[in-house]
Amino acid sequence: MGILNNWFAVLLVVFGLGFVIFIHELGHFLLAKWNGVKVEKFAIGFDIYNLKLFSRKFGETTYVLGALPLGGYVKMLGEDQTGTSNSGPPISDPRAYPNKPVGARMAIISAGVVMNIIFGMLCFAYIYMRGKLEVPPVIGAVMAGAPAYDCGLQAGDKILAINDRPIQKFSDIQQSIIFNSKGQPLKLSVERSGEPNPLSLTVTPRLKAGGKYQTIGVVPASDLVLAKSSPFLAPAGMQIQGEDVLKSIKGGGTITAAGPVGGALQEMNTRQQLDALFSKSPDVPLEVSVRPPDGSSEKSAKFVLPPVQFMDLGLRLGAGPVMSVQAGSPADRAGLRVGDKITAVDGNADYDPIRLPDLAYSQAVANQPVQLQVERGSNAGTTETLTLNPRPARSWVEGNIGDEPLDVVALGFAMEVGPKVVSVESEGAAARAGIKAGDVLHSVTLNLPDFGPGDDEDTPKSLKFVLDGKPAGQEIAGSYASVFDELQRLPLSPVKIQVAGSEAELILNPTPVTGWFHPQRGLQFVTLTRRLAPQSVPMALKLAWSDTVENASQVYYMIRGLVQRTLSKDSVGGPVKIAKMAYDTARIGQDAYVPFLGMLSINLAVVNFLPIPPLDGGQLLFLICEKVRGRPVPEKYAGPVMIAGLVFILLLFVFVNLNDLMSVFG
C-alpha cells in the first residue's frame, strides 16, 4: 500500500505542476484568440531539438507536450517582431501579434499571470469551503537561548497579534518572522494561562549560523493524539487491557483522561494539562484512557504507564557558562547574567549540571530556594552567591533540539554543558568503553528506530551530533543536553562516541538511572491541528483573496531578505526543491497539496511579472514604453536589455539548480 501511495503522489505531482503551467499558458492562448491573434503553437514543456511526447495540429494551432517539463510557451504569429527582436521584414497579416494595438498586447502578456492568480485563489477558496485544517498559533516549546526564550515567551502561550496584526494560525507567526526586516523588533500580543490580560512582549528574530531563515526559536504545540511510533516506546512491562484495542489505536489514538492508578481520572483537553500531571508524578504508575482514531468512546482503552527511568552513559560533563537568561524568570530577578559560570549549587561544587533542572524542580515543590555560586564572566576568579526562588516547572518536557543548551526551566536560564568529561562512573558504560576524565567528546551517534515494513521510515538511520568541531554533511551541531534528551526518546540501543584526537568509535550501552524518572514516559504526539468550519462561497473567496495577497507579498519579502541576508541562499528553491515539496504535500493529502499548488501558482505569477526580459513583466515594460513613446523601443536599446535579461535568467536557473543539487546530495 505504501508503494502504491508513493506512485499516486508522484502522479499527482506531475499532473499538479503541469496544470499550473498549463493554466498560465492557457491565459496567453485565450486572450490571443480573443484578440484575433493567430496562435501557431501551444506547448506545455519545451520541445528542444524536436524532443516531444505529443504533437498534433488542430485547426491553425499545433499542440505540443514537450519532453523537457520545465515550463511552456504560446507561439503567436510575428511574435519575434515586436520591437524587441526585429528579425526579418514586418508581417502585414492583421492577425500577427505585433499588428495588434498596444492595449491588446498588454492584455495577452498579462493574461498568464492573471490566470495563475485566479487559479491560486480558487485553490485557497476550495480548502476554506471544504473546512481548512490549520495549526493554531499556540507555542509548544521555546528553544533555550533563542530570542523567544530571552523575551520571556513560554510553552502554552498563544500569539494573538504581531505588530497589532491579528494572528490566526501558526504559519502566520512563521511568515512574520521569516520576512521581517533585518534587526527589526516584533511586538507580540500573548495570551497566557493564569494572566487576566494579554501580555506585550518584544522579540527580534535572527538568522542562526548555518540557518536558512530568521527565527525566534518556537515550535507549534502538540495534540493529545499519539504519533505513529507510539504508543509507548520505552516502558517495559506495561499493562494493557485488551490487545485487540491496542492494535486499533496504535498511532492515532487520543488520550482523553489520566490520573493515578485506582483513583478518578482527570479529563485531559490540552498537552499542557497532561504534561503538568506527568511532571508532578514521574515516579508513580499512572493510568490513561485512550480513544481510538475512529472516535468511538465505547472502544476506549485504559493503559497503566509505569515510571520510566532516565537512561545514562555513566559520564559527567563540565558546566559551561550561562548562555541565556529568560526575561522575568527567577534567574533574571536574582541577577544571573549571560556569561556567568555556576561553580556550586547549594554549596556543592561537585554537582552534575544535567541533574540541575530536576534538582531545581524538587526545590520548587518543597518551596525551598536554590543557591547558586557564580563566577562572573567579566571578573574571573571572584564568585558571588545568588538566591533563586524556583518555579514548579519541570525540564525535559519540551525537549532539546540540535545545539540548544541545557534549559533549567524552574530557574529560567540556559547553560552550556561539556564536552569535556569531568568524571566517569567506575562501573558505567563510559568506563567500560575506555572513556576517562579529561577526555573531550567529539561526536555522539544515536540510532533512530526502525518503524518496520510498509513505512517510509523502514530503513534504519542514525543521528550524529558533533559536540567539538564543525559538522559536515548529514552531521549536525549539537550540545550534550540535546544528546542526553534524544537518548531518552529512542528505544534502548547502542550509542557510538568518538573522543577528540581519536578515530575510533566507542560503543556504549545506555543504562537506567535508579531513582531518576523521565516525565514523558516514552510517549510521542502529533502536532496540534484544528479544522475550521466550512465557509460559504463569499467568505471563502474573501479569505482566499487575503491569502493570495499574502503569498504574492512574500516574493518581495524573500527578495528583500536575500539582499539583507536575513534569508540564506539555501531558502531559494528550484525545480528539484519544488518537486520534493509537491511530493511531500501530495503524500499528506489535499489539505496540504491543494494550498501548495495555490501558493506555487501565485509565486509563478509574481516571478513572471518581474520587469526582467524575457519574462512577461519585462515584455510588459517594453509595451508600456511603446505606449508612452507612440512607437516600439528601438532595437539598439531593446536588444542589449533583452540579452542582459536572458543572461540573468540563465544564471539564476543554473544557481537554483546547483543549489538544489547541493542540498540533496551535499
**Does the active-site annotation cover 25?**
yes
* Vertex 160 angle, CA 532 and 166, to 5°: 75
Instruction: Give residue for cell 546547483.
Output: 658
SS3 string, 72-90, reads EEEEECCCCCCCCCCCCCC
Cα separation, 162 vs 659, in Å, equals 33
The DSSP secondary-structure symbol of 535 reads P
- List residues bridging with 406 in a β-sheet: 415
Written as nine digits, the cell of 605 is 505569477
Alpha-carbon distance 386 to 331, whole Å?
9
The percent helix, strand, coil of the chain (3-state, each to 5) is: 35, 25, 35
Q: Write 261-267 long-range contacts (CB < 8 A, 24+).
A: 261/285, 261/286, 261/287, 261/304, 262/287, 265/289
Active-site hit among 25, 287, 404, 626: 25
Cα–Cα separations (whole angstroms), residue 338 to 15, 209, 320, 378:
54, 20, 11, 10
No. of helices (H) and no. of strands (E), the chain: 15, 34
Say how far apart CA 654 and CA 604 lie, in whole Å: 18
Q: Torsion over CA of 425, 429, 435 and 438, rounded to 10 degrees? A: -40
C-alpha cell of residue 470? 564543525
The Cα–Cα gap between 428 and 513 comes to 11
Cell of 519: 516525565
What count of other Cβ atoms lies within 10 Å of the Cβ of residue 213? 18
The answer for residues whose C-beta is within 8 angstroms of residue 645's C-beta and 6 or more apart is: 612, 613, 614, 615, 618
Residues catalogued as catalytic: 25
